[in-house]
Amino acid sequence: MTILQALVLGIIEGLAEFLPISSTGHLILASHFLNIPQTDFLIAFEIAIQLGAILAVLYMFWKRIFTVSMIKRLTVGFIPTGLAGFFIYPYIKPLLTNPLLVGVTLFIGGIIILFVEHMYLKWTEAGIVELRHEVSMKEAFLLGIYQIVAIIPGVSRSGSVIIGGLLMKLDRKILTEFTFLLAVPTMAAATLYSFYKNMDVVLHSANLTPLLVGMLSSFIVATFVIKLFLDYIKKHTFVVFGFYRIIIGIIAFFIFLPR
């Protein structure tokens, strides 16, 4: 992997990680378009550069995340995903290089976002959306269960949590912030596990520079995206991301459909 390719993938990770559009899916598609060899290092790289995005969340929310109350909620929310990832990941790993699957899941996810947003609008008009300042322990656990679906490439970790939260009639801003925070234990565990399973490849001298470039660019871009996304969601819905997923999914499907 060249430095330029690592930079591009890092930027994509920073842009897509916290939006409901699937950063992993976009990285899989981008790696094919950039003609990057589909090796074990690429899979490890796509997971490891999430560390940059994790650091962006810690930088933006360190006052909120390091409280006893939030640590309890994040722990409860992480448990379902952690267990599922440990037992299911070995079976999902072969799918992490399949761009056709990404196209399908992006499309389906877009349809689901539009449907759920339609229902959420009705609930808002009926006055049954809960306007609170915190996610409860039970809701944190349920959001963790929704997050399990994101193990499938192209689904989107933030997307699955956001859809789950909308179905639970949670306030958009509180839901979006908790989605960011829940990413920390989830992505940290995925990164550490990837390092552990691919240590020889990741720590190879030829791979260290691309990895650092990817992490740094991911951190810088993610920091701006988090701020802009929170400002955006105060006045807008997630509908635009639903349409975006549908369009990209259709394009990817036809490009990578076997001839």
Model confidence, pTM: 0.87
At 95 the pLDDT is: 66
Q: 167 φ, ψ to 5°?
A: -65, -25
Domain edges within the chain: 3-250
At 144 the pLDDT is: 94
Q: 237 φ, ψ to 5°?
A: -100, -175
Determine how many CB atoms are found less than 10 A away from the CB of residue 116: 18
4-17 tens-digit pLDDT: 999 999 999 999 98
How far apart, in Å, are the Cα atoms of 238 and each of 41, 159, 248?
Answer: 33, 9, 16
Burial string for 40-71 (b: 16+ CB within 10 Å, else e) reads ebbbbbbbbbbbbbbbbbeebbeeebeeeebe
In which band, very low, low, confident or very high, does the pLDDT at 259 lie, cut at 50, 70 and 90?
low
181-208 tens-digit pLDDT: 999 998 888 888 777 777 777 667 677 8
122-145 tens-digit pLDDT: 998 888 887 777 889 999 999 999
At 93 the pLDDT is: 67
Q: What is the largest CA-CA distance in the chain?
A: 59
Query: Is the pLDDT at 99 greater than 90, yes or no?
Result: no
Q: Which of the 8 DSSP states describes residue 134?
A: S
At 205 the pLDDT is: 66
Give the 3-state secondary structure of 32-91. HHCCCCCCHHHHHHHHHCHHHHHHHHHHHHHHHHCCHHHHHHHHHHHHHHHHHHHHHHHH
pLDDT, the chain, mean: 88
* The one-letter amino acid at 229: F
